[in-house]
């Protein structure tokens, strides 16, 4: 798991929206909406692929 994946996983430990996860990445890594959205969606798709989230 990379650094952004770690942040996403930590934020997901409580009930949260995708937008809240994106906001957390933007704050931690100072990235654009586009980059944060891409990272979050890629990570979530990987989790879904491995049946770790629905």
Transcribe 1-54 into DSSP letters: --HHHHHHHHHTTS---HHHHHHHHHHHH---HHHHHHHHHHHHHHHHHTTS--
**Confidence bin at 53 (pLDDT 50/70/90):** confident
**Confidence bin at 28 (pLDDT 50/70/90):** very high
Domain boundaries, the chain: 16-54
Average pLDDT over the chain reads 94
Looking at residues 4-27, what average pLDDT do you find?
A: 94
What's residue 48's pLDDT?
95
CA pair distance 10, 40, nearest whole angstrom: 12
* Res 35 pLDDT > 90: yes
């Amino acid at each position: 798991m990379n650094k952004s994946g770690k942040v996403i996983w930590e934020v997901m430990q409580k009930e949260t929206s995708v937008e809240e996860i994106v906001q957390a990445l933007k704050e931690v890594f100072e990235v654009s909406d586009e980059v944060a959205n891409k990272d979050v969606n890629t990570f979530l798709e990987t989790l879904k692929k491995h049946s770790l989230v629905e």
